[in-house]
Structure 1
Amino acid sequence: MIVGIGVDLVEVARLGEALERTPGLRGRLFTEGERGLPLVSLAARFAAKEAVAKALGAPAGLRHLDAEVVREPSGRPVLRITGKAAEVAGALGVRTWHLSLSHDGGMAVAYVIAES
């Protein structure tokens, strides 16, 4: 059963400007494993983090670091949920996450489905 869905769209250049303007932002938004990725990949991951929050109903206390996009050996992106996001997901009965990422034309999008 679907517990929640979330989608988010990010303008790649706008994220890049924010990261340049505020150097500490990269560490607050992205895990150590994500930080070195190209800007377009960071934008898609930021969209995924926002989509996770939406799928969970945007509860107070979520941190961007609570959701990490990692790749399976096949290259498929998957979510690793920790912290407050994992706590809320557990309370909602979320057992499976579905993630789709895309980027084109200066935009990045993520779609997330939380399933029990």
Structure 2
Amino acid sequence: MILGIGIDLVELERLKTLLTDKFIDRLLSDLEKELYDNITNEQTKLEFFGGRFAAKEAIFKAISKGHGKTNYKDFSILKDENGKPYVHTDYFKQGEVIHISITHTKHYASSYCVIEKV
């Protein structure tokens, strides 16, 4: 049974103006921050950050909880051995599965999230 669906689209140029150390630390988990810090290309860094921001916003929409009830750092968006994104979190109950997809171009990042009870 599907418990929630969320989608988000981020304009990277707009996000670039907000990209401060404080905002990065507020949004990225320690695991994500380590990956982010190892990226040397600035455009790739922006796309990585934009993808994580869009993914977490999509998650918030899927769980129908606004900011304040959950935290960006409650969720780490990581990749499996095939490069497929997945969500690492302790937020969900046993039997709840979260599916996430992220895409980005030079100008936009987007994410789609489905939460399912199995």
The answer to whether TM tops 0.5 is yes
Q: Secondary structure at the match of 1:53?
A: helix
What's the offset of the Cα at 1:23? 2.5
The two structures, once aligned, show a CA RMSD in angstroms of: 1.6
CA contact (8 A) 1:3 1:94 kept: no
> What is the count of residue pairs matched by the alignment?
107
CA distance in 2, matches of 1:54, 1:16: 23
| Identical counterparts, % of pairs | 33
1:62 and 2:57 are equivalent in the alignment: no
Shift of 1:27: 0.4
TM-score (norm: length of structure 1):
0.83
The 2-side partners of 1:78 and 1:71 are apart by 6
Separation in 2, partners of 1:4, 1:94: 14
| Aligned mates of 2:8, 2:95 — CA distance in 1 | 20
Q: Contact 2:78–2:86 at 8 Å: present in 1 too?
A: yes
Structure 1 portions without partners, runs of 5+: none
- What is the aligned partner in structure 2 of residue 12 from structure 1? 12
The residue correspondences of 1:16-31 to structure 2 (distance < 5 A) are: 16-19=16-19, 22-31=20-29
In structure 2, list runs of 5 or more residues that go unmatched: 40-44
| CA deviation after TM superposition for structure 1 residue 105, in Å | 4.4
C-alpha distance in 2 between matches for 1:15 and 1:94: 35
Q: Distance in 1 between matches of 2:72 and 2:28?
A: 7
Q: What is the rounded CA distance, in whole Å, between the counterparts of 2:5 and 2:95 in structure 1?
A: 11
Moved over 3 A (4+): none
The reply to whether residue 75 of structure 1 matches residue 83 of structure 2 is yes
Matched, 1:42 2:49: yes
| Residue of structure 1 equivalent to 2:100 | 99
User: TM-score, normalization: structure 2?
Assistant: 0.82
Match of residue 59 from structure 2: 52
